[in-house]
Amino acid sequence: MSVKRVVIFKNGTNTNGEVFVLPQTLEELMSQAYLKFNTKVRRIFIEDGTEVNEISFIRNNDNLYISSGEEFIVPPKNVSKRVKCSDWVTLNVGGKYFTTSKSTLTTKEPDSMLARMFAGDEEGYLFTPSNIDKNGAFLIDRSPLYFEPIINYLRNGQLIYDSNINPEGILEEARFFGIESIIPTLEQIISQQNVNRDNLPLTRRDVIDALIRSAYTTELRFQGVNLSGADLSKLDLRYINFKYANLQGCKLTGSNLSYCCLERADLSYANLDGAQLLGVKCLCANLEGVSMKNSNFKDPAGGRANMEGVNLKGANLEGSDMGGVNLRVATLKNANLQNCDLRAAVLAGADLEFCDLSGSDLHEANLRGANLKDAAFELMLTPLHMSQTIR
């Protein structure tokens, strides 16, 4: 639906008219006219003297006359000298001057507010475009920052603006001035920016802001979010739902991830050295190449970390306390589990090929059905009993 614009004069005059974008209701139009002319508006007439009672009766480019209650007064004709047309126009937009040709304002967008403001004939402008400052420039109360890309677009047909300018501000100006041809381009730019912004990974600051606003027992939902590469070291992240989250390459050293849900999350090549992982849920998570040296999985209350089906290929868990952890059917190929406490851990069906378990404690660990091909068991604290590896 196209925007309608009208020119409003005081009753009985044809001078000092003001351009208005036609609002939805007659009451809104009266209110806007009151603010502009600083006079009470009770009645509105069209050029033939007919009083307007419905906003739908007003047509695009109509001249309207406002009254504080008196009857319509026919405006005198040719009582004032028109402002002389010039090939060049200077605009004072929010205190900044723009000098341009009249053809720039009227040719590319002939139906725009700017084109109608400066429409004229040999006698001058059809109406006074706006108030004039002491330097003879036409005053426009808008932001010069967002107006400049608009005037440049009218000059050369290309939308060019600095990277520090918000395109939403330019879009607002384009709608105000009725520069219709530029609006789809701006809407597309803004839409693309929003998509790109949604794809950006969250930062440490974003996570801290969420933590500050929440109690530590509250289950924050970071499900499916992108946190790749974020530095979350030494933060208290207990009880957070990181299911399906992207935590690739995150720095989580010394952080507390106890009772977190990391199901199917991607923590590949992240650093979790010294992290607290009590009761963590890591079902089918990707921890390939992760560093988890000296991490703690053992819950004094008896809870068990569930890492069933997790991918720990090439991971380094040296010196970690993993007592009772569930690593059923997990992939630990080429993983470093030296000096780990794996007492009562469940490793049934796990792939431990080329895994280094030297110096680890596997007392009462369940290794039934595990692939132990070329695994290293040197310097173990307790001998591995054959019954632990029988299917």
- 48 and 192 share a domain? no
User: Phi then psi for 376, rounded to 5 degrees?
Assistant: -100, 125
- 191 and 206 share a domain? no
pLDDT at 83: 46
The stretches of 127-279 forming alpha helices (DSSP H) are 144-156, 167-177, 183-199, 204-212
- 265 and 384 share a domain? yes
E-strand ranges in 62-130 read 63-67, 88-93, 96-101, 120-121, 124-125
- 114 and 174 share a domain? yes
pLDDT at 144: 94
- 192 and 206 share a domain? no
- 313 and 211 share a domain? yes
Domain that holds residue 345: 201-390
Q: Hey, what are 318's tokens?
A: 């040296």
Q: Return the CATH number at 100.
A: 3.30.710.10
∠ Cα 87 90 94 (to 5°): 155
User: Phi then psi for 192, rounded to 5 degrees?
Assistant: -65, -40
With respect to residue 247, please indicate whether it lies within any of the assigned structural domains: yes
pLDDT tens for the 391 residues of the chain, in order: 567 888 899 988 888 888 888 898 989 989 998 888 888 899 999 888 889 988 888 888 888 999 988 998 888 764 444 444 557 889 999 999 999 998 898 888 888 888 888 876 544 455 556 688 888 888 999 999 999 999 999 999 999 998 889 999 999 999 999 999 999 999 999 888 876 666 678 888 888 888 888 776 667 888 888 999 999 999 999 999 999 999 999 999 999 999 999 999 999 999 999 999 999 999 999 999 999 999 999 988 888 999 999 999 999 999 999 999 999 999 999 999 999 999 999 999 999 999 999 999 998 899 999 999 999 888 766 666 544 554 3
pTM for this entry: 0.53
With respect to residue 78, please indicate whether it lies within any of the assigned structural domains: no
- 261 and 377 share a domain? yes
* Number of domains the chain is built from: 3
- 326 and 259 share a domain? yes
pLDDT at 13: 87
With respect to residue 77, please indicate whether it lies within any of the assigned structural domains: no
d(CA 106, CA 20): 18
- Full DSSP string of 239-282: T-B-TT-B-TT-B-TT-B-TT-B-TT-B-TT-B-TT-B-TT-B-
Where is the domain boundary, 197, 228, 248? 197
- 303 and 181 share a domain? no
- 184 and 304 share a domain? no
pLDDT at 142: 92
- 366 and 293 share a domain? yes
- 104 and 229 share a domain? no
pLDDT at 180: 92
Q: Return the CATH number at 12.
A: 3.10.20.230
pLDDT at 338: 93
With respect to residue 73, please indicate whether it lies within any of the assigned structural domains: no
